Amino acid sequence: MRLAAIHTGNFRLDGGAMFGVVPKVIWQRYNQPDENNLCNWAMRCLLVEDGDRLILIDNGIGDKQSEKFFGYYFLNGEQSLKNSLHKAGVDFDDITDVVLTHLHFDHCGGSVHWNSGKTHIEPTFKNATYWSHEGHWNHAINPNPREKASFLSENILPIKESGQLKFVGDDLKISDNISMILANGHTEKMMCPKIQYKDQTLVFAADMIPSAAHVPPHYAMGYDIRPLVRMEENAAFLQEAVDNDYTLFYEHDLMNECGKITLNNGKFKAGEVFPLSEFI
């Protein structure tokens, strides 16, 4: 098995929205906001070579939206989905599987792109199976008012129309080495891939724990549809992570790719942080 971090660039989101009820005087220690209260966040994906399969977990915001849309998020950084895959020795057509943790635009926007004539949108990974959870898919195509702006039909519907969409089964596995942890606090049936790598376990934490700063369970985001459920889910998962020495892969942490969890005096905290290369 081979693992590679795929950096698709950074974007800015409101710090208060990202940290919910946590006061700014506390959260700004972890991610310093600009004059508009915006903090910079990574959109870090993961490439897994598992046997003869090349599996991409999430794919960033993409490049097909309007200038007005991107103007809200201040994209920055030198990395891109295409360049990062090429750096890993992979092209779009080599990808066999795309795992979509959930269908918010910053996680699945790279799934599709404009064709060469810019007449219609088509899958970016033409040889891949796109994996989602059926419960989440149905939630995304019939969005609630709170999440409607995050579920963009142009990101989602072309995947099904192409015939490349597949739902995970009841066993929540897509290979012998990759299974899904389901979380319902951030959005309905979000999937966090749990990857068995040699004698270690790596969990792609998605928006369950988007950065090392979000490890304490009460650091729930304003974007969460069920913050109290999120707190309960995260506490249970963090205990599991401590008990089994999981390593977390942080999708949105600008500085830290991976990290451990510690439990001190009944409080979960981010432990050692390190690049994916040290996990490997």
Structural domain contains residue 133: yes
Report residue 134 CA to chain centroid gap.
18
Residue 164 in domain:
yes
* pLDDT (average), residues 16-41: 97
Helix (H, G, I), strand (E, B) or coil at 254: coil
Q: Is residue 203 in some structural domain?
A: no
Angle made by CA atoms 87, 90, 95, in degrees to the nearest 5: 145
Give CA separation, 41 vs 97, 124, 129, 154, in Å. Answer: 25, 24, 28, 23
Q: What mean pLDDT is predicted for residues 86-114?
A: 98
Angle between helices 153-161 and 134-141 (to 10 degrees): 130
- The CATH number of the domain holding residue 105 is 3.60.15.10
Assess whether pLDDT exceeds 90 at residue 57: yes
Average pLDDT over residues 70-80: 96
Give how many domains the chain has, as a whole number. Answer: 1
Amino acid 126 reads K
Q: So what's the pLDDT on residue 45?
A: 98
Helices (H) and strands (E) in the chain, counts: 9, 15
For residue 116, name the pLDDT band (cuts at 50, 70, 90): confident
Q: Is the dihedral of CA 273, 274, 276, 280 positive or negative?
A: negative
Instruction: Give the number of residues written for the chain.
Output: 280
Helix, strand and coil percent figures for the chain, each rounded to 5 = 25, 30, 40
pLDDT > 70 fraction of the chain, expressed in percent and rounded: 100
DSSP 153: H
Q: Which tens digit of pLDDT belongs to each residue from 241-259?
A: 999 999 999 999 999 999 9
Contact (Cβ atoms closer than 8 angstroms) between residue 273 and residue 212? yes
**Quick check: is 100 in a domain?**
yes
Residue 169 has pLDDT above 90, yes or no: yes
Does residue 25 register a pLDDT over 90?
Answer: yes
Residue 256 is assigned to a structural domain of this protein: no
Domain presence at residue 91: yes
Q: What does the alpha-carbon distance between residue 58 and residue 79 come to, in Å, rounded to a whole number?
A: 15
The reported pLDDT for the residue numbered 92 is 98
pTM of the model: 0.98
Closest residue by Cα to residue 195 from 185, 187, 186, 205: 205
Q: Are 58 and 15 in contact (CB under 8 A)?
A: no
Asked whether residue 6 is assigned to any structural domain, the reply reads: yes
- Distance separating alpha carbons of residues 42 and 207, to the nearest angstrom: 12
Give residue-wise pLDDT tens across range 194-240.
999 999 999 999 999 999 999 999 999 999 999 999 999 999 999 99
On whether residue 54 sits in a domain, the answer given is yes
Give the mean model confidence (pLDDT) for residues 144-169.
Answer: 97
188 has pLDDT over 90:
yes
Query: How far out from the chain centre does Cα 226 lie?
Result: 18
Range(s) of the domain holding residue 123 = 2-198
Model pLDDT, residue 37: 98
